[in-house]
Amino acid sequence: MTRADKRALRQEGNQNHHHHMKTKNALKTATVIVIILMFLGYAGYAFNTWRKGLPDKAFTDGPVHWHARLNVKICGQFRELPESKGLTAHGKSAVGTPLLHHHHDGTAHIEGRVLRPEDISLGAFFDAIGGKFSETEIFDKKNGDLCGEKPGSVKLNVNGSLNMEWKNYVLKDGDQIGIEFE
């Protein structure tokens, strides 16, 4: 092998090496792009999932301050609303949550921006104040429990008519709610 041959060989080797480096860089760039695309895809998916959990439009445009009267009678006796789960709402002692509460006087307060109608259902109100209510029970009474000697059952009355929505009934400002077990 002459010196010139050796030089030629070395040059070829360098070129090969150079070509190899180029491929390596292209691979690196491709990997970075794939990672960015995967991240964007995941971010889009996560954003859509998060958005699906929210309603397109809130139930009320802004904060409301609604009141509904609640009258619970069990076996002919008037019953106070539970006094559990105390808190302070707009500076007054209250029972429930800032959105759904009462101030120890038998009036349900709905205060704040309502996102979903189900957030202010009768069931949500009873959950908030810590009392049982459904088509089969009110407080400590279950359908079939006795009032004197007669088995009783729950009845829901909204603004003077029997209502069969039970827990799902969505409270409105000025409602007169009567729940009777007899």
The minimum distance between CB 86 and Zn ion, in angstroms, equals 13
Biggest CA pair distance of the chain: 121
Pick the closer one to Zn ion by CB: 98 or 123: 98
C-alpha span between 105 and 148 (Å, rounded): 28
Only segment of 104-112, 128-136, 138-146, 148-156 that touches Zn ion (CB under 5 A): 104-112
Place of tokens 């077990």: 181
Pick the closer one to Zn ion by CB: 19 or 104: 104
Q: Is 109 in the site for Zn ion (CB under 5 A)?
A: yes
Residue nearest to Zn ion (CB): 109
The minimum distance between CB 103 and Zn ion, in angstroms, equals 6
The minimum distance between CB 154 and Zn ion, in angstroms, equals 26
The minimum distance between CB 101 and Zn ion, in angstroms, equals 6
Pick the closer one to Zn ion by CB: 81 or 89: 89
The minimum distance between CB 176 and Zn ion, in angstroms, equals 18
Only segment of 44-52, 89-97, 140-148, 155-163 that touches Zn ion (CB under 5 A): 89-97
Residues lying near Zn ion in the complex (CB under 5 A):
89, 109
